[in-house]
Amino acid sequence: MSPLQITTISPENRSQVIEAIRTNLSSFNRSKTDIASREEIVLTATNEKKELVGGVYGELWGGCLEVKLLWVSEQVRDQGVGSELMTSLEEVVRQKGCVKILTDTFSFQAPEFYPKLGFVECFRVQGYSNTEISRVFFTKDVE
């Protein structure tokens, strides 16, 4: 094998390289599992002025949804927007045959939020940036 060159990709080229990595990994996964489809799911919440006040993004593959991002504007936090987004997301993916949802959050974000929706904490990774910050991982079976 010839020597490899490891390169840090510049910001202007990252999206193209990430897509190439994703495409190649998807091809490998498909060859080993016969699970071909990966679907991005995005739901948004807007106010009466049509301004974005929340959103959730996840990737559905193999009957499992991995929630990648959930954001709710500070102006509408603690008003049920996050719960409504997650409940709607669960309904959308249930109709697509999803059986499990995976997500994570940091200890300073919303670790108390997910158990209220039926998520179970799986594990924590302690010590981000040598601080008390933890990353908390959750799962939920979709019924």
Give me the half-sphere count of Cα atoms (radius 13 Å) on the Cβ side of residue 89. 32
Q: What is the pLDDT of residue 127?
A: 86
The tens digit of pLDDT for each residue in 73-91 reads: 999 999 999 999 999 999 9
The predicted model scores a pTM of: 0.86
Take residue 33 and report the two structure tokens written for it: 């599992």
The answer to whether 42 and 57 have CB atoms below 8 angstroms apart is yes
Helix (H, G, I), strand (E, B) or coil at 84: helix
For 124-136, give one letter per residue: b (16+ CB within 10 A) or e. Answer: eeeeeeeeeebbb
Arithmetic mean of pLDDT over the chain:
94
Binned at pLDDT 50, 70 and 90, residue 38 comes out as confident
Confidence of residue 30 (pLDDT cuts 50, 70, 90): confident
Domains of the chain with bracketed CATH: 11-141 (3.40.630.30)
36 pLDDT more than 90: no
